[in-house]
Homo-oligomer: A and B are copies of this chain.
Amino acid sequence: MELVITMLPSSPHVRSVYLGEYGVLKGAAPGTPLIDSSTIDPLTAREVAMDAKAKGCPMVDAPVSGGVGGAEAGTLTFMVGGDAKDFEIARPVLQAMGKNIVHCGGIGNGQVAKICNNMMLAVEMIATSEGMTLAAKLGMDPKVFAAIVNTSSGRCWSSDTYNPYPGVLEGVPSSRGYTGGFGSDLMLKDLTLATDAAKAAKHPVMLGALAQQIYQKHSNDGNGPKDFSSVILQYMKQ
């Protein structure tokens, strides 16, 4: 076995696959590089990597963003946490799958980068949803408003690249009934990881916590499989 790459749904799975009775660390020869591309909480990532290190196996956490489309096109971004030399071992492997391989610092920081970015993204997507729908309700053409915001201080990726208001941009989920893209339930999972990490770190994240609640409500309303930009529907249906 030359190297191990895993991509698992949650922290308990990672813990079990690496540390379990028949887990990777039981069988891997010392020196085997380990790459975990799951999105999990940073603390688990750090614990598992410490155990791996004790077994002589260099390990990095390397969560990915870019979605199914990015995977097919080979344009994924990997956010990698680990020692510099472990990062160099993992880099060529990841380059075969993705376009941007970013070193985020020590082990666990791949997770930190991903969940903090996605918490910002979720809040910005809801902010864009509120701004677009309020402007429309107050009488503005949504396309005109989006054009103004996108050259102004309110611009963000959610407004200029992935606008949630139907008909503003082409080729995005909002133009095709919120199919495809990054599901609301996946965003909810990342928000849960981010707010859990904030709790463990005793750090307040008021808007992040409220965004987590809004996505939970949105999911319970039956929108879990729809793209996460469908959260705008919370502001449109009456």
* Chain A residues at the B interface, C-beta cutoff of 8 Å: 42, 65, 77, 79, 100, 102, 104-106, 108-109, 112-113, 116-121, 123-124, 126-128, 130-135, 137-141, 144-145, 148-149, 151-159, 161-162, 192, 194-199, 201-214, 216-217, 219-222, 234-235, 237-238
Contact = CB atoms under 8 A, between A and B. Distances in A.
Given A105-B139, A138-B201, A207 B123 contact: yes
Contact of A154 (B102, B124, B195, B201): B124
Overall SS of chain A's interface:
helix
A131 B118 CA distance: 9
Contact of A138 (B42, B123, B134, B211): B42
A207 B209 CA distance: 10
Given A123-B127, A130-B208, A134-B205, A104 B140 contact: yes
B156 A155 contact: yes
B100 A112 contact: no
A119 B131 contact: yes
Given A79-B148, A116-B145, 12 more contacts: A113-B135, A116-B134, A117-B131, A120-B154, A123-B124, A134-B197, A134-B201, A134-B208, A192-B199, A203-B216, A204-B235, A221-B237
Nearest to A77: B152
B100 A151 contact: yes
Nearest to A198: B134
Contacts of A203: 133-134, 137, 216, 220, 235
Contacts of A202: 216, 219-220
Given A131-B117, A198-B134, A217-B204, A139 B124 contact: no
7 contacts: A42-B139, A109-B138, A116-B138, A130-B205, A134-B208, A202-B220, A217-B234
Nearest to A147: B102
A130 to B, nearest CB: 5
A161 B119 CA distance: 19
